[in-house]
Structure 1
Amino acid sequence: MFKVNELVVYPSQGVGRVERIESQEIGGVKADFYIVRILSNNVTLMVPVANAENVGLRSVCSKRIGQEIFESLNDRSEFTGYTGQNWNRRYREYSEKLKSGDLSDVAYVLKELFLIGKDKELSFGERRLLEQAMGLVSMELAYSVDRDQELIKEDINEMFADVIAAQEEKS
């Protein structure tokens, strides 16, 4: 059970704050809802308390986990290079990972897309996924390690400076 003012993560939306918990009757059934305001875009969500775990609502990761995720972004040992895999298949896989709400999955998508961009120019859809993953990862890490989101983005971009330079050469 989350508390009022607690920071939470809603999959594919990012970090939000529980503004209140209220009871409502919908279709003759009374239920409790978390009213969550997403911090990046001010959208308000109603999440049924009974279904919060099923939809992936969770607490912001700990500082230790945040640091581990940050370090994992810098580890390129598992990346085997762009394989020419079908974009549709990759897009579906990455979209599922972004929707999962698991920070390590979202960080995986971010790293993969950055590194694929070193070998080929990213399509419009890939760039959109990269931006979405960057926003989700940087925002949660910012709250996790208590740093400004823009500084986190700068640090991530610095990690992939060689990739960004290679992309700019192709443009």
Structure 2
Amino acid sequence: MFSVDELVVYPAQGVGKVERIETQEIGGASTELYIVRILSNNVTLMVPVSNAVNVGLRAVYTPEEANGILAYLDDRSDFTGYSGQNWNRRYREYSEKLKSSDLKDVAYVLKELILIGKDKDLSFGERRLLEQAMGLISLELSFALDKDQNDVKKEIEALFADVLQKKDGESDEDEGDS
């Protein structure tokens, strides 16, 4: 059970704060709800206390778990790339993973898209998923590690410096040839 003012994570939405716990009558039954405000967009969610775990509501990662995510991002041994998959299939797969309550699934999407982007231009949808994954991970890790979110983003980008520098270093002529 979470308490008021506790930071929690709601899948695909990110880090939120439990503002209050209240009881409301829903469908004729009295239901206890967490009222959670998502910090990145100020959206308020009502999550039934009895169903919180089933919808993936969880505590923010510990510093140890957060460092594990950074280590996972740095390990490229599980990179599958875009082996024959078209962007539409990848987009659906990655969208589902972003809804996971496991931050490692979100990290998988981030890693895959950054590494795929090394060899080919990402579609508009894939770029949006990349931004969403980066936002979800960097925000949670910033709370877990007590760091500024931009510093965490820079730390993640540094893990992929070899890939990101190649893309940034391309000339306009190179991009016009695609």
Q: Normalising to structure 1: TM-score of the pair?
A: 0.96
Amino acid in structure 2 at the alignment position of 1:104: K
Aligned residue number for residue 89 of structure 2: 89
What is the CA–CA distance in structure 1 between the aligned matches of 2:80 and 2:39, rounded to whole Å? 36
Aligned residue number for residue 30 of structure 1: 30
Aligned residue number for residue 111 of structure 2: 111
8 Å Cα contact 1:121-1:167 kept in structure 2: no
Query: Following TM superposition, by how much is the alpha carbon of 1:3 offset from its aligned partner in structure 2, in angstroms?
Result: 0.5
Equivalences, count? 171
Q: Tell me the C-alpha RMSD between the 2 structures.
A: 1.2
What is the CA–CA distance in structure 2 between the aligned matches of 1:34 and 1:76, rounded to whole Å? 38
Query: Following TM superposition, by how much is the alpha carbon of 1:115 offset from its aligned partner in structure 2, in angstroms?
Result: 0.2
Amino acid in structure 2 at the alignment position of 1:83: S
Structure 1: segments with no counterpart, 5+ residues: none
Structure 2: segments with no counterpart, 5+ residues: none
What is the CA–CA distance in structure 2 between the aligned matches of 1:79 and 1:25, rounded to whole Å? 48
Q: Which has the larger radius of gyration?
A: 2
What is the CA–CA distance in structure 1 between the aligned matches of 2:81 and 2:98, rounded to whole Å? 21
What is the CA–CA distance in structure 1 between the aligned matches of 2:110 and 2:126, rounded to whole Å? 10
Moved over 4 A (4+): none
Percent identity between matched residues is: 69
Amino acid in structure 2 at the alignment position of 1:123: S
Query: Following TM superposition, by how much is the alpha carbon of 1:16 offset from its aligned partner in structure 2, in angstroms?
Result: 0.4
8 Å Cα contact 1:82-1:119 kept in structure 2: no
Aligned residue number for residue 77 of structure 2: 77
What is the CA–CA distance in structure 1 between the aligned matches of 2:82 and 2:23, rounded to whole Å? 50
Aligned residue number for residue 136 of structure 1: 136
Amino acid in structure 1 at the alignment position of 2:39: L
Amino acid in structure 2 at the alignment position of 1:153: K
8 Å Cα contact 2:80-2:112 kept in structure 1: no
For 1:131-156, what per-residue CA distance to the aligned partner results, in whole angstroms no more than 9, with x for missing partners?
00000000111111111111000111
Query: Following TM superposition, by how much is the alpha carbon of 1:80 offset from its aligned partner in structure 2, in angstroms?
Result: 4.3
Query: Following TM superposition, by how much is the alpha carbon of 1:92 offset from its aligned partner in structure 2, in angstroms?
Result: 1.3
Q: Normalising to structure 2: TM-score of the pair?
A: 0.92
What is the CA–CA distance in structure 1 between the aligned matches of 2:159 and 2:167, rounded to whole Å? 14
What is the CA–CA distance in structure 1 between the aligned matches of 2:92 and 2:80, rounded to whole Å? 20
